[in-house]
Structure 1
Amino acid sequence: MSRIIKRLKNSRFIHNTGWLMFAQIYQMLISLVIGVITARYLGATNYGTINYAASYVSFFTIACQLGLEGIVVKEIINHRENEGIILGSSIVMRLKAGMLSVIAVCMIIWLVNPNDRTLVIVAFLQSLVLIFNAFNIIECWYQSNLQSKISTIIKCIAYTAMSCYKIFLLITGKSLVWFAFSTSFDSLIIAILFVLHYKKNCSHKLKYATDVAKDLFSQSYHLIISSLMAVIYSQMDKIMIGKMINQTHVGFYSAASTICNMWMFIPQAMTNSARPLIVQLKSKDETLYIKRLKQLNFVTFWLGIGFAIIITVLANFIIYVLYGAGYSEAEGPLMLIIWSTVFSAMSYPRSIWMICEGNQNYTKYILIWGVIVNLTLNSILIPVVGMNGAAFATIVTEFMCCMIAPLFYKSTRIYVRYLLESIVGIGIK
């Protein structure tokens, strides 16, 4: 592992990745401490209510991103002179999608749960994040220039402010509704700081151009569908648990999922930092381009295996220390879900390859298979074995999307070969 990391070493890459990881670690530590205290304070039922509403919001969170991140980074790298128009057009597109999505979330929650006024209010406050997140696309500018230090500092400021807000709520004993706004609160701060810093430090003004927006959409609409498919099978388990069992069990399942996703900042940070470097290599050195992809896959996969083993062995201890005896039922899902993250993490490097090869349209087909498998298994297993059934369905779904579904299409079969070679160390030296 150390030899591969050494070969990946590039001063700007390591520096940029380091800042990205710092932001994620800082957020993880704050979220862990404040989140655990909040979960204990709210109890499994109220904690489940927040996460149940968040599952609906998540459907639109992914959709509102419009699949633009990788596309925007590539466009900025290839057209530096138009970066202000590219970013401005992307922001406007996301704002429109966000506003429509807030309305849609509230309507869906009201139709599905017409007698639960609190749930509708919670969902509305959480859904405001869909509007504020529109400005996160500015981070693509920092990524394209390997200057993630700035975005990291901005995010850390926002996370700190959000934590202070939650601490205030805990000290003053506020109700569930106040906690629902916390996610939107830090997104609002990030949006304000991103815009202010960009305007001060970049000579290209943010502008909207209809033709640019159309071009971006033509490249990304495949990824929008793909993202929707991904969020369906990643969030539907909580929704189905809430409807088939109850919201208290959603709280247990969410606690397990939160722990499992803690390590995911590592492959995400590495991929975000490696993306501009690998995109540039595609047109300059095909051999080195494939080699870097394999190295990224190798590190991502074996890090996932390591974390999965640790969490599996220490599951009971982790649940008890973090959440207390009241969340003991989360142990089973935790031991299963952690293994699904090994395969879900592999989607980060794959996203780079898909965009570089112009194969992003196949992503939606791959994830449709994931949705079919996930919904089928959840429908069968949740009534029989409860939360553990949903966790097992997640493992099968992620393995399907990672290893099996790409084999169904001629253009993506080669990537499965690259992936398998990466895992066993072929072509990474």
Structure 2
Amino acid sequence: MSKILGFFSAIFVGAWVARYLGPETFGLLAYSNSLVALFLPIGMIGLNDIAVKEFVNAKNNVEIGKILGTAFLMKLFFGLVSFLILILFVFLNKDFLEIRFLILIFSSFLILQSLEVFDFYFQSQVKSKFVVYSRIIAVSISCILKIVLIELNATVAYFAIVIVLEFFITHLFTFLYFNKSKIKVSIFDFDKNYVLSLLKKSWPLFLSGMMYIVYTKIDQIMVKDILGAKDAGLYAVSISLSEVWYFIPNIIAVSFFPAILFYKTKDKKIYYKRITNLYSLLFWLAVFLSLFITFFGEWIIEKLYGNSYLQSYKILSIYIWSNIFFFFTTISSKWLVAEGFYMHSFYRNILGAILNIILNIILIHKFGLTGAALSTLISYAFVGLFYDLFFKELRINFKLKLKSILFIN
């Protein structure tokens, strides 16, 4: 239900906001959000998947409380560090004068992301219903506020505040649901050795997360810097209509991968078979969605966003096909963590980031927005599929993906 509501919010209310703001202002909003996202990995420090794994392996509520308290403090501390770095970077650079206030609003994400630890606990226990309830409440409030702001003819800053507020409400209610449990969380029970242990496990994923954000967000930043705010708005629309489908692999990964991990040490044959089934399901879903958007995307943009965004269709018809490889990446990222190949997450993402930046520099100048979309498609294909071919220990993962495409199990 929360995903359907989120889909409705992104497609309809999001389009209404974009139409109201216009391509240039909407481009500045998207650009500011993407710029702040580059600093998020510093606050997350690679703990997300590690925390879920720690919760799964916890023997009792005391251990769970220890993990929660430690992870929360770590994410809060590094979130404050990333916040200060961003503020210094932005306010010492005159290039950001026109959007400093927007960036300041979105920078709240860097501190608020520490509340995600309670979400990770529910994921590990396969109790996502509490996160779902929180998400429904947050998205409902957000949709209502955005519509009210449009009716009040509000400025773009208020829409940025609502985006941050939606994130905060989601994790606030998740915490309130957790508070009903019997698990005691003490942030004062600080275990230095455990912190060092978590950092040792998470630093490759921190680096990987940093590079992941770069290769997924850098195109939006480069489009604005090279082509201007209006083109950034047009590009943001194509991204919105592509990324709105990302909830599909995310919810499938969260729902099924913890159960698949059970067979990792019990029965390898079942373990690989179920991973292949996941890849197959996501591949064909992505192909169907890509075909649908390719054929009906222009009509969708015209009806939802209006004629001022019609140029987004050409970009969208290319960008949407990167979903196939993003869907693969969602599951393969979980597989790399399960197998302990943390450094490959980093290597894969840094190569993807470098490839995307180089391609953007070449193709944006030569083909404009179409070049940015092509850069994303090629870099996503490398990360989501072809990277595995270069390393012997990862080729089994490439074979599983290939089998999923060819219906071989």
- Normalising by structure 2, what TM-score? 0.95
Give the whole-Å Cα distance in 2 for the aligned partners of 1:24 and 1:416: 30
Percent of aligned positions that are identical: 28
What is the root-mean-square deviation in Å for CA atoms of aligned residues? 1.5
Are residues 1:41 and 2:20 paired? yes
Are residues 1:181 and 2:161 paired? yes
| Uncovered stretches (5+) of structure 1, i.e. residues with no partner | 1-21
Give the whole-Å Cα distance in 2 for the aligned partners of 1:145 and 1:170: 40
Tell me the secondary structure at the aligned position of residue 46 of structure 2: coil
Given candidates 124, 132, 150, the residue that maps to 2:104 is 124
Tell me the secondary structure at the aligned position of residue 201 of structure 1: coil
The match for 1:16 is none
Give the whole-Å Cα distance in 2 for the aligned partners of 1:118 and 1:201: 46
Give the whole-Å Cα distance in 1 for the aligned partners of 2:145 and 2:123: 29
Give the whole-Å Cα distance in 2 for the aligned partners of 1:382 and 1:40: 25
Q: State the AA in 2 paired with 1:283.
A: T
Give the whole-Å Cα distance in 1 for the aligned partners of 2:386 and 2:95: 42
1:256/1:333 contact within 8 Å kept: yes
Given candidates 352, 361, 377, the residue that maps to 1:379 is 361
Tell me the secondary structure at the aligned position of residue 265 of structure 2: helix
Instruction: Give the paired residue count.
Output: 405
- 1:53-100 deviations in whole A, cap 9, x for unaligned? 111111122442222222222211111321111122111111112112
The match for 1:166 is 146
Are residues 1:86 and 2:67 paired? yes
The match for 1:315 is 297
Say if 1:25 and 1:206 are closer, same or farther in 2 by CA, change over 3 A. farther
Are residues 1:68 and 2:68 paired? no
Q: CA deviation at 1:206?
A: 4.3
Are residues 1:337 and 2:319 paired? yes
Give the whole-Å Cα distance in 1 for the aligned partners of 2:137 and 2:287: 32
Are residues 1:419 and 2:372 paired? no
1:106/1:120 contact within 8 Å kept: no
Are residues 1:299 and 2:281 paired? yes
2:10/2:240 contact within 8 Å kept: no
Given candidates 187, 190, 199, the residue that maps to 2:170 is 190
- 1:105-133 deviations in whole A, cap 9, x for unaligned? 23333344x15434011001011022112
Give the whole-Å Cα distance in 1 for the aligned partners of 2:312 and 2:157: 24
Q: CA deviation at 1:396?
A: 0.5
1:129/1:183 contact within 8 Å kept: no
Are residues 1:279 and 2:261 paired? yes
Structure 1 segment 99-248 matched on structure 2, within 5 A:
99-112=80-93, 114=94, 116-207=96-187, 208-248=190-230
Give the whole-Å Cα distance in 2 for the aligned partners of 1:140 and 1:355: 15
1:279/1:356 contact within 8 Å kept: yes
Q: Give the stretch that moved more between structures: 369-378 or 114-123.
A: 114-123
Q: State the AA in 2 paired with 1:130.
A: L
Tell me the secondary structure at the aligned position of residue 290 of structure 1: helix
2:68/2:185 contact within 8 Å kept: no
The match for 1:32 is 11
Structure 1 runs of 4+ with >4 Å offset: none
| Uncovered stretches (5+) of structure 2, i.e. residues with no partner | none
Tell me the secondary structure at the aligned position of residue 289 of structure 2: helix
- Normalising by structure 1, what TM-score? 0.91
Q: CA deviation at 1:340?
A: 0.8
